[in-house]
């Protein structure tokens, strides 16, 4: 005989659906995410307080710890979700078009006021924190590089590039050059710069002519 759960008792009375603590409300998760990045930008990774994050989000600590058991878990999860959501893979039908869209997406992320403050601290902390470095260099970077490589796979399928193209070089060029310009040197990356960078990257991917 199978026993019914308390929410399945057939006594003719209406049952309330679980609410509040029983449901991971997306609005609360979004508020916690924003609060985390604001806290990080202000205090750095080392100074992040999950209690203050919950306070900034206007929720109790229990709501935060139901989602993430630690600072590391929260940071890695939010970086992964936000980083991937901000970088959809768009098919424009051409190699130059695909790279342009990719670079514009990266530029949009790197221009964000919180990202500009967080990224240098993240990369510095990764040199000191092996657990953080392992997580960021694992799932997050692998997924980001996999998505960027789709651009090259399309170009190879169209015959725009040879199958021997260096995918790692492409990833380094696409992300690294914009990061250096916007985060390190703090120079502008206007559309003229983006168009020139696209041509520079394509020239580096094409086989050398004799």
Instruction: Give yes or no for a contact between 166 and 75, defined as CB atoms under 8 angstroms apart.
Output: no
| Digit-coded pLDDT (tens) for 115-128 | 899 999 999 999 99
The residue ranking higher by pLDDT, 92 or 12, is 92
Determine the Cα angle at 119 with ends 50 and 110, to 5°: 120
The residue ranking higher by pLDDT, 139 or 85, is 139
Domain ranges of the chain: 22-70, 86-205
Tokens of 87: 């970088």
Candidates 3.50.40.10, 2.60.120.10, 2.40.128.110, 1.10.357.10; CATH matching 86-205: 1.10.357.10
Instruction: Give yes or no for a contact between 121 and 44, defined as CB atoms under 8 angstroms apart.
Output: yes
The residue ranking higher by pLDDT, 24 or 4, is 24
* Mean local confidence (pLDDT), 60-67: 95
The residue ranking higher by pLDDT, 48 or 21, is 48
Residues 49-88 as b/e (b if ≥16 CB within 10 A, e otherwise) read ebebbbebbebeeebbeebbeebeebbbbbbbeebeeebe
pTM of the model: 0.77
Give CATH for domain 22-70: 1.10.10.60
Distance (Å, whole) CA 75 – CA 71: 6
Average pLDDT value over all residues in the chain: 85
């Amino acid at each position: 005989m199978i026993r019914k759960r308390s929410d399945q008792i057939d006594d003719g009375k209406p049952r309330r659906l679980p609410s509040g603590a029983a449901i991971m409300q997306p609005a609360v998760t979004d508020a916690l995410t924003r609060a985390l990045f604001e806290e990080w930008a202000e205090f750095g990774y080392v100074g992040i307080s999950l209690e203050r994050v919950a306070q900034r989000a206007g929720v109790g600590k229990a709501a935060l710890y139901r989602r993430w058991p630690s600072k590391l878990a929260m940071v890695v999860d939010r970086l992964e979700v936000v980083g991937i959501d901000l970088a959809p893979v768009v098919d424009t039908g051409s190699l130059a078009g695909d790279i342009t869209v990719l670079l514009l997406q990266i530029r949009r992320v790197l221009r964000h006021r919180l990202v500009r403050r967080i990224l240098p601290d993240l990369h510095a902390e990764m040199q000191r924190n092996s657990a953080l470095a392992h997580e960021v260099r694992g799932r997050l970077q692998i997924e980001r590089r996999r998505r960027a490589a789709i651009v090259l796979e399309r170009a190879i399928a169209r015959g725009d590039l040879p199958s021997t193209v260096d995918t790692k070089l492409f990833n380094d060029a696409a992300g690294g050059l914009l990061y250096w310009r916007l985060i390190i040197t703090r120079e502008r990356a206007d559309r003229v710069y983006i168009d020139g960078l696209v041509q520079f990257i394509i020239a580096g991917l094409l086989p050398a002519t004799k």
